[in-house]
């Protein structure tokens, strides 16, 4: 059986070494080259002819998105599988537009990474659970519909933020939602953390500017 040839592209040597060790446990996978930047990857891909390029998005010099676009153009046979720390919408969709065939987070487990490499090599598109959830939410939004504000918040947290924007104190929010005051305090604390604000006034102002808080 032919081995799947893999090029590792990441500016952290220790992370590449860990990946190399992981991939070496699978007899059908072969690391055929490594690169520490997008520029280096473009030079290596034409010389080593990998089937799969495991690539980080955040690297010095040429970014991972630009590198993906160049790699796909230079070697259409090579399929790019992003392995990144970030899973925000901008990064995910920019990578897919550039030609990436898969997107995993660096916290992915051994079995998930091996399965993804094999799937991408076979021509499939594959995504980690959190990325798949984002894609599903994006495509579930009807054309022309406006996505809810603050997608990082849960539905309940948006309800709480809406009432905070109406300048209701925690006891009234608790009574309105039928939950305990402690539960409301926990939601408010989580909202502050996710929105990176320090107080209710700032949170309320941010919410009102996004259309929340209207009675």
Contacts of 212 (CB under 8 A, 6+ apart): 149, 158, 161, 162, 165
- Give the model confidence (pLDDT) of 135-166 as tens digits: 777 776 665 555 667 888 888 898 999 999 99
Statement: residue 23 has pLDDT above 90: yes
CB neighbours (10 Å) of residue 21?
A: 10
Average pLDDT, the chain: 88
Summarize the confidence of residues 27-54 as an average pLDDT: 94
Q: What is the structure's pLDDT at 173?
A: 94
pLDDT tens digits, residue range 84-99? 888 777 788 888 889 9
Residue 59 has a pLDDT of: 87
| Residue 171 and residue 67 share a domain | no
The CATH number that applies at residue 115 is 3.40.50.2300
Whether 74 maps to a domain, the answer reads yes
- Are residues 36 and 95 both part of a single domain? yes
Q: What is the pLDDT of residues 100-121, one digit of tens each?
A: 999 998 888 899 999 999 999 9
What does the pLDDT average to over 162-189?
A: 92
Q: What are phi and psi of 147, to 5 degrees?
A: -65, 145
Domain assignment of residue 113, yes or no: yes
* Residues 78, 123 within the same domain: yes
In a domain, 60, yes or no: yes
Question: Which is nearest to 22 in space by CA: 117, 121, 104?
Answer: 117
Same domain, 133 and 160: no
Domain containing residue 114: 4-139
The mean per-residue pLDDT over the stretch 186-201 comes to: 91
Arithmetic mean of pLDDT, 61-66:
87
**Would you say 28 and 54 are in contact if contact means Cβ atoms under 8 Å apart?**
no
Residue 200 included in any domain: yes
Query: What is the model's pLDDT at position 145?
Result: 53
The pLDDT of residue 143 is 59
Residue 42 clears pLDDT 90, i.e. is over it: yes
Specify the DSSP class assigned to residue 3: P
37 or 130, which is more confident?
37
Can you tell me whether residue 142 is helix, strand or coil? coil
pTM score of the predicted model: 0.64
Same domain for 28 and 104: yes
Helices (H), 62-169: 64-74, 89-98, 110-121, 129-140, 155-165
**Per-residue confidence (pLDDT) for residue 90, from 0 to 100:** 78
State the pLDDT at residue 58. Answer: 87
The answer to whether residues 14 and 104 belong to one domain is yes
* Whether residue 60 has pLDDT greater than 80: yes
């Amino acid at each position: 059986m032919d081995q799947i040839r893999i090029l590792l592209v990441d500016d952290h040597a220790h992370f590449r070494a860990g990946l190399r060790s992981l991939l070496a446990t699978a007899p059908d996978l072969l690391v055929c080259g490594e690169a520490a930047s997008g520029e280096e990857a473009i030079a290596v891909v034409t010389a080593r002819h990998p089937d799969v390029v495991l690539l980080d998005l955040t690297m010095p010099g040429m970014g991972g998105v630009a590198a993906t676009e160049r790699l796909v153009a230079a070697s259409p046979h090579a399929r790019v599988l992003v392995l990144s720390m970030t899973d925000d919408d901008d990064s995910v969709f920019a990578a897919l537009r550039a030609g990436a065939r898969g997107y995993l987070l660096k916290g992915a487990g051994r079995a998930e990474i091996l399965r993804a490499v094999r799937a991408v090599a076979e021509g499939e598109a594959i995504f980690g659970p959190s990325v798949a959830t984002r894609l599903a939410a994006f495509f579930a939004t009807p054309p022309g519909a406006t996505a809810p504000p603050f997608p990082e918040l849960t539905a309940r947290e948006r309800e709480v933020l809406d009432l905070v924007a109406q300048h209701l104190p925690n006891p009234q929010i608790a009574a309105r939602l039928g939950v305990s005051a402690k539960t409301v305090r926990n939601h408010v604390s989580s909202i502050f953390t996710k929105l990176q604000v320090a107080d209710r006034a700032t949170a309320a102002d941010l919410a009102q500017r996004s259309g929340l808080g209207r009675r």
